[in-house]
Structure 1
């Protein structure tokens, strides 16, 4: 990390550190419970109830959002600004491979394969630590327990339901298996890419496989599109602008001896620059139309914009670095390249300044180095305390700046 200025350790709260240090077993208990009971996007009914029950025990006031999710406030004893802390709660349609684990998913075909169970657990324990020092807090800490991140809809809906009203700064964390445990990464600028979905439908003319001269074969049209579309990035986007166009699904044909009349292609576009995003969408339409015309077919492209790019605000990102260095030592600071993955945390940053940090959880000795969204994904639970303290100490430092 560059340009980091040492944060005076007296701006950290010793009681918060002690509280979270004593919460190791609690963090693991919470995370394992949530891991065993995964719920998909917009179905997080039991998870919402679990969060509410925990907040009830702490005496923290909250309101449920519709249909799932929770927004809570820890009102400090002194006037000041408001900082929001966000954790997502939803799981994925992934079958857990390691069924022998005592906390393995009990829901067939569903799994916390991205670490949202860890995020929710860390924020709950951070909330408890902050609540213990609330009389000393100069301002308010808002807690956002968000549904439906995996479908890139939850953050936008939470914003619509008032999650960032009156908020001056927002901070989020993602467990990251590609980084070693006890590391923290948060650099100013791009962190996660925008993530869009496109669908191309080609219409040709079907017929008997033995009479191709009477047909327009959309299997050939679609194949030509897949082979040529990569030149959008390689030949029309400046090399200095990272971008990805991926075709992930092709549906074409019904039988071995019938020439396909329809073909449907689905893919995704990832980049950081808004102008590049617009350009790629335009080029996809151009390629689809021109390739279809070449074979006498027609094309229809649907382009759906998903998440925005996550762009960390400079002051907030440096504060994360300063807090992490003061809390854990400068050796925890890690340089992680921006990822082409998507994150709907971007919708909060569209409204207020803030930053999004990665907390390392990869440990080959514990078999937690697997990629996110994989059926063997797991986390090194030693990372939970790092994330929980980072949540709490960031809020404390921000409000006490």
Structure 2
């Protein structure tokens, strides 16, 4: 099942792969601002002669058409950076731009997918079918996948595969289990309105600070007392704004947070109960509540057959001990929207190495990767596409 020419190409071009990742790391671009990254990818594809088209406003869809008829498999790599200040002072390739950083590994994803494309291009005459290459913008704001899907990214695709580099997993280990991998990630806002007044005359007021505080202290019962303990849900309050002055009783309070779930029933239940709880707390104090619940990414649910293929490919390419068992994460990933269009799977490729100080959490200013993971990810992309189309 494993194509030796693909393995040889990626191994022989490891230094170039690392250099490409370092270039992208030093030149981060935020969501919907990936103009230079998009142009760089286009230049690379043009040199290879791989047909592509730019998506709007950023991003690239390319396709390697094999020499034989067959299905179409899509490979996705995201490109955008984060509004994070890099504090890796000793890196020669650290971010050139204050307040912008590839703190989640998307520079690695883009580089790995690009070199997977180069390897697949070398064997295109033997490929039965086509490989769709999706260089996706704006994953960090959960908008890029839906945008490029609307522009035809998944038209005619039979299967889709994605990779995320992962600092909490040992370098070169691969995690890909059937079922939930990433959670649905939703955002909510609760706006409480009371009646403001002088801090010395509380009897004439309805204190929004008290209402909001009661909500924050007790809203976890939505999960702990209304969700089946065997189901999974996380409700987090991340922001609260209330009050204007030390001696003024607040009239308004705004609370923002996130809900993470794996299945639709639990997601619907928490949304309903959250609104009910906010209105109940508000009425208890004579205030009012307005709840805005925004659904973000869906849960990433790995399809069983595709996942077993990933495990088989990984074992044959790198050895059976490469497979690593790890629990699903409650983080969100807009790869979920590709899985709404076609079956597929999403794998984690470990890049955590304490000797190289690459175990920092994603989105941290000291995040970095063990670059030994790059050839693993690049080959996994390419070998999965080859194996899927040849199975």
TM-score, with length taken from structure 1:
0.97
Q: Describe how 1:2-401 pairs up with structure 2 within 5 A.
A: 11-401=1-391
Is there any run of 5+ residues in structure 1 with no aligned partner, and where? 1-10
Cα distance between partner residues in 2 of 1:201 and 1:387: 44
Cα distance between partner residues in 2 of 1:82 and 1:17: 21
Q: Contact 1:202–1:262 (CA<8 Å) still a contact in 2?
A: yes
2:101 partner SS: coil
2:225 partner SS: helix
Cα distance between partner residues in 2 of 1:61 and 1:195: 35
Cα distance between partner residues in 1 of 2:46 and 2:196: 63
Cα distance between partner residues in 1 of 2:158 and 2:199: 64
1:321 partner SS: helix
TM-score, with length taken from structure 2:
0.99
Instruction: Give how far 1:365 is off.
Output: 0.5
Cα distance between partner residues in 2 of 1:110 and 1:250: 26
Alpha-carbon deviations, 1:343-366, whole Å to 9, x = none? 000000001000000000000110
1:236 partner SS: coil
2:255 partner SS: strand
Cα distance between partner residues in 1 of 2:246 and 2:366: 36
RMSD: 0.6
Instruction: Give how far 1:100 is off.
Output: 2.9
2:306 partner SS: helix
Alpha-carbon deviations, 1:297-321, whole Å to 9, x = none? 1000000000000000000000000
Q: Contact 1:99–1:105 (CA<8 Å) still a contact in 2?
A: no
Instruction: Give how far 1:99 is off.
Output: 2.9
Cα distance between partner residues in 1 of 2:245 and 2:165: 45
Instruction: Give how far 1:336 is off.
Output: 1.1
Alpha-carbon deviations, 1:64-106, whole Å to 9, x = none? 0000000000000111100000000001111101133111111
Cα distance between partner residues in 1 of 2:89 and 2:253: 38
Instruction: Give how far 1:159 is off.
Output: 0.9
